[in-house]
Amino acid sequence: MADSAEINASRGDTVLQIQGLQAFYGESHILHGVGLDVCEGEVVTLLGRNGAGKTTTLKSIIGMVSQREGSIRYRGQETIGLKSNRIARIGIALCPEERGIFSSLTVEENLYLPPVIAEGGLSIAELYQLFPNLEERRHTRQGTRLSGGEQQMLAIARILRTGARLLLLDEPTEGLAPVIVQQIGRVIETLKARGFTILLVEQNFHFASALADRNYVMEDGKIVAVVQRNELREKEALLQEYLGV
């Protein structure tokens, strides 16, 4: 695995440091010792086939699995023993794979739902600039009446307001039209430019690799490869083997 001290030196402080992470859903043991680092301002992807443990890794970081062991440090603070609502308060936010738009809330209520936990979030005006569709549809009675693409944008937008600085995005392009995928790609670039740190789970390798500073490949609940941005070409064969792309 790449020397994390070296990465830290070149990219600034480690925001997220995971070591020996084990995670369980009830009886089933999903993660078997995951380790990864994400540095300030980086976009890091988790790649891998279905069932490799990518979503579980994100959910473990935010505390949404029934049992976690090992170490997950956020800016040096150990979070493995914290409850999900405490973890959110220190600056981590999840955009879940199923998007999690609430049907009993209006679009605007969905947007305002996550409480502001720190300064530095995007203002509503900035969010509507980033996602013009949401402004047009903000009075829609049921959040789930939006199209799939709009729901995805809403799911991203609502965690940008809160001041969270580490964003966990779980397959934001899944099932969306190419033009929307491009739009989401531009949003992620904008967020990176604004200094957000992003851990991105993706099936769409070409989408992910264009954005990522570093790619972790997962298989059977473990990290099996790390590919830096400048190594994409030389490690193409390896990635193909793991991902079947």
Partner 1 sequence: MTTIFDLPVSYFGLQFLIGLQNGAFYALLSLGLAVIFGMLNVINFAHGAQYMMGAFLAWLLLDIAGISYWWALLLVPLIMGLLGVVIERAFLRWLYDLDHLYGLLLTFGLVLIIEGLFVSVFGSSGLPYEKPQALAGAQRIPLAMITGNERDMMMIPLYRLWIVAVSIVCCFGTWYAIERTRLGSYLRAATENPALVRSFGINVSVLITLTYGFGVALAGFAGVLAAGVQALTPHMGSNLIIVVFAVVVIGGMGSILGSIITSFGLGIVEALARIAYPEASGVVVFAIMIVVLLMRPAGLFGREN
Q: State the residues that interact with partner 1 by CB under 8 A.
A: 62-64, 83-89, 93-94, 96, 100, 102-105, 109, 112-115, 117, 159, 162
Q: How far apart are CA 167 and CA 93, in angstroms?
A: 5
- Residue 84 contacts residue 63 (beta carbons within 8 Å): yes
Output the smallest distance, CB 74 to partner 1, in A: 14
Considering the complex, state which of residue 63 and residue 172 has its C-beta at the smaller distance from partner 1: 63
Q: Which is nearer to partner 1, 47 or 94 (CB)?
A: 94
In the complex, what is the shortest distance from the CB of residue 103 to partner 1, in angstroms, rounded to a whole number?
7
Pairing of strands 214-219, 77-78: unpaired
Contacts of 164 by beta carbon, 8 Å cutoff, 6+ apart: 88, 91, 92, 93, 117, 118, 121
Q: How far is the CB of 177 from partner 1 (least distance, A)?
A: 25
Q: Cα torsion at 196, 84, 176, 54 (round to 10°)?
A: 90
Decide whether 60 or 197 has the Cβ nearer to partner 1: 60
What is the C-alpha radius of gyration for the chain, rounded to an integer number of angstroms? Answer: 17
Positive or negative torsion for Cα 84, 86, 87, 91 = positive
- Kindly tell me which of 1 and 102 has the beta carbon lying closer to partner 1: 102
Closest approach, Cβ 169 to partner 1, in A, equals 13
